[in-house]
Amino acid sequence: MKIVVFGGDGFCGWPTSLHLSAQGHDVLIVDNLARRYTDVELEISSLTPIAPISTRLEAWEQISGRSVKYLNFDVAKEYYRIESLFKEFAPDAVVHFAEQRAAPYSMKSERHKRYTVDNNVAATHNILCGIVESGLDIHVVHLGTMGVYGYGGGAAIPEGYLRVEILTADGRRIPREILHPADPGSIYHMTKTLDQLLFFYYNKNDGVRVTDLHQGVVWGTNTKETKSDPRLINRFDYDGDYGTVLNRFLMQAAIEYPLTVHGKGGQTRAFIHIQDTVRCIELALFNPPERNDRVQIFNQMTETHRVSELAELVAKLTGAKIEHLPNPRKEAADNDLVVEAKSLVELGLKPTRLEKGLLEEVIEIAKRYADRCDRRRIPCTSKWRSDIDLSARPGGSSGLPDRTLASEATT
């Protein structure tokens, strides 16, 4: 299969590209290195020493005998390069990771809000537009987020579509299956709800085939391929903007910093290991929706945990202390989270369990590279809301049952 990976140098994109190449696919990465520039902006760097993209690609060719192509351009700003690429490479599918993916980063300032919206919307739209112009039947596999569902408690989160009965003014009931109402908790999450409408429209009007994978919080660092040579190592982010909750706990434990839990840690989140992420992408690529199907939506997560349970687990493994800090987000202190996520397991996913893999992460990554950690970068400094007093406001106005933010790319 010929596959373009947009955003193929990032945390999910790089291991996905290698995994697909290892399976014998013809992989072409497009990446403008935005995530590396953000490291410069935020004065942070991956805990793991990641190699430049050219070194990565050379190393992969030496190790595997396979070549991964690479183009550096901005998917959001250089539309015509997408058109030429589709014309010349004629991919069967694209994997779309070319979005700003951190909720706290998206909330840092008006500039970060606008960058996240402008970049993410234009990237998705340009890819869809390019597919229509190409005249090719290119399947889009997109990384969404569980955060599109937002509040909704009381009922398990379905895979994308919700069964309802519409109550009409004249007293009738009309049964329907609708796209789950959107209820994003940050600008970043909002862009993924905008993506959903772009997919809905291009699928309906132009017949573009789309699989949208609503992913939970990713943990872990390496996959089989990224482990095979030090030059192929994947990113590990532990900072307040890009570090996911579990990575921050592991890092904090490794440097004997207390594990910082926002609020009482009653928030439940959905998790998935990076090895399972790359496998899910592969499963999605091999199981496109039929030609006239609606957008296919899978929930890409394997287990749920309360943040406080995770902290206790890491504390038990490492002897670290736990510290509770005020929560900057507008969310309930506690929430249950039940997610329907059968589809990918039915297609063949065999989940990596958190308890099994965690110790390896502590030893192989967090402790091994602890001397590269900049302690000042651990706290999250994003101001989530303006100073407007929302105290009188009920918990969200989506009309859905009250439940806290289901999941986030980063916590």
State in angstroms the smallest separation of the CB of 173 from a second copy: 8
Measured between alpha carbons, how far is residue 88 from residues 2, 28, 43, 134 in Å? Answer: 12, 12, 38, 10
Q: Which two tokens stand for residue 59?
A: 């190393």
Give yes or no for a contact between 157 and 338, defined as CB atoms under 8 angstroms apart. yes
| Binding mask of the shown chain, residues 22 to 61, with x at each position contacting a second copy by CB under 8 A | ----------------------------------------
Task: Determine the Cα–Cα distance for residues 189 and 407; give it in Å rounded to an integer.
Answer: 10
Measured N-to-C along each axis, helices 79-89 and 110-134 cross at an angle, to the nearest 10 degrees, of 40
Region from 88-96, 227-235, 357-365, 392-400 binding a second copy, contact rule CB under 8 A = 392-400
Site for a second copy in 286-315 (CB under 8 A): 291-295
State in angstroms the smallest separation of the CB of 41 from a second copy: 18
Site for a second copy in 339-368 (CB under 8 A): 340
Among 101, 113, 262, 269, binds a second copy (CB under 8 A): 113
Nearer to a second copy, 40 or 174 (CB): 174
Site for a second copy in 366-385 (CB under 8 A): 384-385
* 231 phi, psi to nearest 5 deg: -75, -10
- Is 145 a known active-site residue? yes
Q: Which amino acid is at 301?
A: M
* Three-state secondary structure call for residue 285: helix
Strands (E), 283-374: 296-300, 303-306, 322-325
Nearer to a second copy, 49 or 395 (CB): 395
Per rule CB under 8 A, is residue 126 in the interface with a second copy? yes
Per rule CB under 8 A, is residue 187 in the interface with a second copy? yes
Task: Determine the Cα–Cα distance for residues 241 and 379; give it in Å rounded to an integer.
Answer: 8
- Is 124 a known active-site residue? no
Per rule CB under 8 A, is residue 398 in the interface with a second copy? yes
List, in order, residues 6 or more apart from 99 with CB less than 8 Å away: 7, 119, 120, 123, 124, 143, 191, 192, 195
Among 88, 355, 371, 387, binds a second copy (CB under 8 A): 387
Among 400, 405, 406, 409, binds a second copy (CB under 8 A): 400
In the block, tokens 């009482």 appear at 264
In the block, tokens 């434990």 appear at 253
Which among 70, 116, 192, 369 is annotated as catalytic? 192
Among 42, 121, 313, 317, binds a second copy (CB under 8 A): 121
Q: Which two tokens stand for residue 296?
A: 């296919």
Among 42, 63, 194, 255, binds a second copy (CB under 8 A): 194
Among 37, 43, 49, 197, binds a second copy (CB under 8 A): 197
- Is 149 a known active-site residue? no
Nearer to a second copy, 340 or 360 (CB): 340
State in angstroms the smallest separation of the CB of 175 from a second copy: 8
Among 16, 45, 193, 247, binds a second copy (CB under 8 A): 193
Site for a second copy in 154-183 (CB under 8 A): 154-156, 158, 161-170, 172-179, 181-183
CA dihedral 68, 247, 101, 51 (to 10 degrees): -30
**How many residues lie near a second copy (CB under 8 A)?**
81
Measured between alpha carbons, how far is residue 335 from residues 52, 249, 271, 326, 331 in Å? Answer: 41, 20, 15, 17, 9
Q: Which residues are catalytic?
A: 145, 188, 192
